[in-house]
């Protein structure tokens, strides 16, 4: 066999080995870093929403608390969720509150658009959730979940 046949026969496996080694060198560290970062925790039925609430507000076991709180309000009345869409964490927290507020109808209001509830609307609203947003000064203090979610009931209880 001539030297160029040997060369041709060797190029293909050599190229494959180099490609595979590069592929692994670039991808594997990120994956093993991810594997080493955490350990298995059987965190229960609110594994994900608790983790998100903890990230967004610092509160632990927030899901059960929020569900219990919304459960004490008339189910047909709306929950108004006030967010700032230019703050990603606020918008995400708003969606998380909407997720947990079932079966209440929800309305998400972006504060930047100047959306605030009128006095007539307050009749149909069970509570207002302020997600990383300061409530207006005249509003009375509500239920705090962590340090950045405040829920102010409008007064009606089940």
Partner 1 sequence: MGRRFIRDRSDWEKKVNFLALLGAIATILGAGSVFLLLLPPATRLNIAEELALSWIFGTGLVSVLIWTFGFVARAPFLPGLVATVCIALGLLTMKVRGRSAAPFQMLRKLRPIELFLGIVIAFEIAFIFYFSCVHTLGGDGLLNWEIKARYAYANAGVLPATYLHDAGRAASHPEYPLAIPYTELWLYFWLGDTNQFWAKTIFPLFYAAGITLLVSISSRLTGKTWPGLLASSLYFFIPQISTETGSAVVGYADFPLSVFYLTAMGNLLCACRKHDDGCNDGAFAIYAVAAAMLPWIKREGAILWLIATLCGVLVIWRRKKSPAYFLALLPGLFVIIGWHFYLSQMHAVSSSDFMPISLAALSANIHRLGPIMSMLFLEFTHIEIWSLFWPAAAFAGGFFLYRFRGVRAVMLIAAIAAPIGIYAGAYIFSSWPDYHDHVALSINRLLMHVAPLATLMISAVLAPGQTRSNQPATFPLAASGSSLNVQPLETCASIAGTRPDNVWIDRDAIRSRKPCLKLWL
**What 3-state class would DSSP assign to 53?**
helix
The token pair at 95 is 């969606």
Q: How far apart are CA 133 and CA 127, in angstroms?
A: 15
Rg (CA), the chain: 26
Asked whether 124 and 32 are in contact (CB, 8 A), the reply is: no
Task: Check residue 117 for interaction with partner 1 (CB under 8 A).
Answer: no
Task: Check residue 68 for interaction with partner 1 (CB under 8 A).
Answer: no
Asked whether 117 and 80 are in contact (CB, 8 A), the reply is: yes
Task: Check residue 46 for interaction with partner 1 (CB under 8 A).
Answer: yes
How many residues bind partner 1 (CB under 8 A)? The answer is 42
The token pair at 74 is 């008339």
Task: Check residue 83 for interaction with partner 1 (CB under 8 A).
Answer: no
E strand residue ranges, 9-154 = 78-83, 106-110, 125-131, 143-145, 149-153
Per-residue binding letters, 6-25, with partner 1 (x by CB under 8 A): ------x---x--xx-xxx-
Residue 35 or 141 having the CB closest to partner 1? 35
Among 64, 87, 89, 105, binds partner 1 (CB under 8 A): 105
Task: Check residue 1 for interaction with partner 1 (CB under 8 A).
Answer: no
Residue 78 is inside which H or E element, if any? strand 78-83
Residue 88 or 141 having the CB closest to partner 1? 88
For residue 98, the minimal CB distance to partner 1 (Å) is 6
Q: Which residues bind partner 1 (CB under 8 A)?
A: 12, 16, 19-20, 22-24, 26-28, 30-31, 34-35, 37-49, 51-52, 78, 81, 92, 95-96, 98-99, 102-103, 105-108
């Amino acid at each position: 066999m001539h030297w160029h046949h040997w060369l041709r026969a060797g190029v293909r496996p050599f190229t494959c080995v180099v490609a595979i080694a590069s592929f692994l060198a670039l991808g594997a560290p990120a994956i093993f870093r991810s594997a080493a970062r955490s350990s298995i925790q059987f965190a229960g039925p609110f594994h994900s929403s608790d983790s998100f609430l903890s990230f967004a507000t610092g509160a632990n076991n927030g899901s059960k608390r929020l569900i219990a709180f919304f459960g004490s309000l008339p189910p047909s009345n709306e929950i108004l969720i006030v967010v700032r869409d230019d703050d990603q964490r606020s918008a995400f927290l708003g969606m998380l509150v909407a997720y947990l507020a079932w079966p209440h109808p929800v309305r998400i209001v972006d504060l930047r658009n100047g959306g605030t509830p009128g006095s007539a609307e307050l009749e149909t609203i069970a509570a207002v959730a302020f997600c990383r947003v300061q409530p207006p000064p005249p509003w009375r203090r509500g239920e705090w979940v962590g340090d950045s979610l405040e829920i102010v009931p409008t007064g009606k209880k089940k």
